[in-house]
Amino acid sequence: MKKHKKTMVGILSAIGNTPLIQLSNLFDTTSINFFAKLESINPGGSIKDRTAIKMLENAIKNGNINKNTTVIESTSGNLGIGLAQACAYYKLKLICVVDPKASTQNIDIIKAYGGEIDYVSEPDPQTGEFLQARLKRVKMLCHKNPDFFWINQYSNIDNPLAHYETMREILEQLNEQVDYLFCAVSTCGTIRGCAEYIRKKNLNTQIIAVDVKGSQIFDNEQTIRRFPGMGAGVRSIHCNDELINGYILVSDQDCIRCCHQLVAREGILAGASSGGVVAAVEAMQNQMKSNSTCVMILPDRGDRYLKTLYSETWIKENFGEEYYKKLLSQNFRGTPAPKIQLFSVKG
């Protein structure tokens, strides 16, 4: 194949090098420079494209995957789409084990790429968590089928390693002047990779994890979590409190409110975890130093949430008429603020 100058070969070559844009309307304060890393620009629509290609290509390189292998993964959405895209390119079979939290739209996208869906309808009886049930299902299928290969984002070192590149891009785009980095967590691959890269560069960037109420990563209060891709029912081995400066716990309502705020003030239609990141920054902005630079990683785009967090009907059904009225007026005085837990500053 002839390669022309200034062109890329194959859809996977378009992953990464996402734009970093300065936000001018999101917050009232003008003493802090706010930037958003738009991972929605990746061809599969999320930051999980980076994770998928890194894990898949290294497994191929190491001989764990060949043309007869069936790739399998437990995923609630975006990683499944990223893997489906990459497996379509490499002509590999893919099975995504999902649960009721996975949106029908995400499932349809995975199927459109040629991926197969294995649906777990009941949570794990011991823990009450769907994640545990999905993992048990994956292990059972791999045991029965020796030609299956489990990507395993929850313990695969290539998950965080993929985000050395994410952080390298951010630092390059800002001449290494990043005072605060806010990142949503689930498997914690993104925040681990970014944090390790920052620490290797000996930078003093404060790294704040953004988790959602009901997740088991930092808190143990079990409540309903309505959105995939943020929070987790099990703490991944990628989680390391020594790498971060603290965490902020947001609610589903915080995610919804700040997604609507993002699109109204900046014209950015983003997914639920992006709203959570914005809510965390909003809660902590008064504690940031004047003239500092704050980066928010916005993991995915909002068109896959049109039937949930951007739907009037869905919002009213899940949170009530009064909440929807507050959303329209952007008047949330008196509502609980996100929980901020900062550790000692690490150099």
pLDDT digits (tens, 9 = 90+) for 208-246: 999 999 998 998 787 888 898 899 888 889 999 999 999
Distance CA 277, CA 280 (A): 5
The SS3 of residue 37 is strand
Report which DSSP code applies to 336: P
What pLDDT was estimated at residue 275?
Answer: 97
Tell me how crowded residue 280 is: count the other CB atoms within 10 A of its CB.
27
User: What does the pLDDT read at residue 7?
Assistant: 56
Specify the DSSP class assigned to residue 46: B
Written as six digits, the tokens of 192 are 């681990």
pLDDT recorded at residue 232: 86
Please tell me the predicted confidence (pLDDT) of residue 347: 42
Nearest to 229 by CA among 167, 281, 280, 187: 187
With beta carbons less than 8 A apart as the criterion, state whether 250 and 212 touch: yes
Low-confidence ranges of the chain (pLDDT < 70): 1-8, 334, 344-347
pTM over 0.85: yes
Instruction: Give pLDDT, residue 30.
Output: 82
Burial of 165 (0-12, 13-18, 19+ CB in 10 A): middle
* DSSP 3-state of 307: coil
% of the chain exceeding 70 in pLDDT: 96
Contact 46, 72 (CB under 8 A): no
pLDDT tens, position by position, 38-58: 999 999 999 999 999 999 999
